[in-house]
Structure 1
Amino acid sequence: MGDNQNTMQFNVVKDKSDVTKAILTEVYNSLLEKGYNPVNQLVGYFISGDPTYITNYNGARAMVRKLERDEILEEVLKNYLEIK
């Protein structure tokens, strides 16, 4: 253990939001690089749950499957409505 006597604070909500954003950004970029329309592909995945809407390129499919679809949509909606 270190000499640090301060209590560290862990913010699950903020960290989850950051992880979701980072993963969606990576998936979006991978879809774009492969020539797909990222928005259409992600919407297809959100609605159907079928991971084949997401490319395997750069591990995008595995990354997006680490997140629950309802949690992704929650974060997207909060961002769209600018709710914190």
Structure 2
Amino acid sequence: MANDRTIHWGSRHEDNQARRALLIAVDAMRQKGYNPVSQLSGYLMTGDLAYITNHNHARNLLKGLEREELLHELVRFYLRDQP
């Protein structure tokens, strides 16, 4: 029998922390000539921080957050203006 229960999931950190880390990392990747969408996608899928540049401490900022928290912030931002 199927489970009809919906699981509630939340972030461990404030969304602002994930948002700030993502914005700094995206800016650092652009400064170094990387495509942030490709690099972040690679990191989120594999967990390999080598996808994230060390420039401006971007790697360390993302390292302090769970990938799920980053994904949560990206989805929240994407859906922000949806009806």
How many residues align? The count is 70
TM-score (norm: length of structure 1)? 0.77
CA shift for structure 1 position 18 = 0.9
Which structure 1 residue ranges, 4+ long, deviate > 3 Å from structure 2? none
Residue number in structure 2 paired with 1:20: 18
Aligned residues: percent identity? 40
Q: Deviations over 1:8-40 (max 9, x none)?
A: xxxxx7x71111111100000000000000111
Determine which structure has greater relative contact order: mean sequence separation of CA pairs < 8 Å that are 6+ residues apart, divided by chain length.
2
TM-score (norm: length of structure 2)? 0.78
Partners of 1:72 and 1:54 lie apart in 2 by 13
Residue number in structure 2 paired with 1:52: 50
Q: Aligned ranges for residues 1-84 of structure 1 at < 5 Å?
A: 16-82=14-80
CA shift for structure 1 position 67 = 0.7
SS, match of residue 14 in structure 2: helix
The structure that is helix-richer by fraction is 1
SS, match of residue 28 in structure 2: helix
Q: Which runs of 5+ in 1 are unaligned?
A: 1-12
Q: Match for 2:45: what amino acid?
A: I
Q: Which runs of 5+ in 2 are unaligned?
A: 1-10
Partners of 2:22 and 2:67 lie apart in 1 by 11
Give me the CA root mean square deviation: 1.6
